């Protein structure tokens, strides 16, 4: 059973350049995201959208949580579409 789960996990991951392996839960259409929405970003970070240029490629977020780098919390930065894992609950 554990061997099957491991195989399933490997098949559900995709390679995204330098950002390494990560699981894609759903495709998020950045054109539909509005200011105030909370999104999950690569490495399990969570950000609040503070601007959306509506180009479908980028959103500007303020980090609310970032386990990989706590110094990012409170900072704003652009996030590329492929780094958006899904909507935060």
Q: How many residues are listed for the chain in this entry?
A: 89
> Could you read off the pLDDT tens digit of each residue along the chain, which spans 89 residues?
555 554 444 444 444 433 344 445 567 899 999 999 999 998 899 999 999 999 999 999 999 999 999 999 999 999 999 999 999 98
- CA angle at residue 35 from 43 to 21, to 5 degrees? 15
Decide: 18 and 27 in contact? Cβ < 8 Å.
no
pTM above 0.85, yes or no: no
Q: Which pLDDT value is given to residue 3? A: 54
Architecture (CATH level 2) of domain 2-87: Roll (2.30)
Is the Cβ–Cβ distance between 69 and 80 less than 8 Å?
Answer: no
- Expressed in angstroms, the distance from the first to the final Cα of the chain is 30
């Amino acid at each position: 059973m554990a061997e099957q789960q491991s195989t399933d996990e490997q098949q559900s991951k995709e390679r995204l350049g330098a950002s390494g392996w990560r699981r894609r839960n759903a495709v998020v259409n950045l054109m539909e995201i509005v200011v105030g929405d909370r999104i999950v970003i690569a490495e399990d970070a969570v950000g609040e959208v503070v601007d959306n240029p509506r180009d479908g490629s980028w959103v500007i977020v303020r980090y609310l949580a970032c386990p990989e780098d706590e110094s990012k919390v409170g900072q704003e930065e652009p996030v590329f579409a492929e780094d958006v894992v899904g909507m935060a609950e």
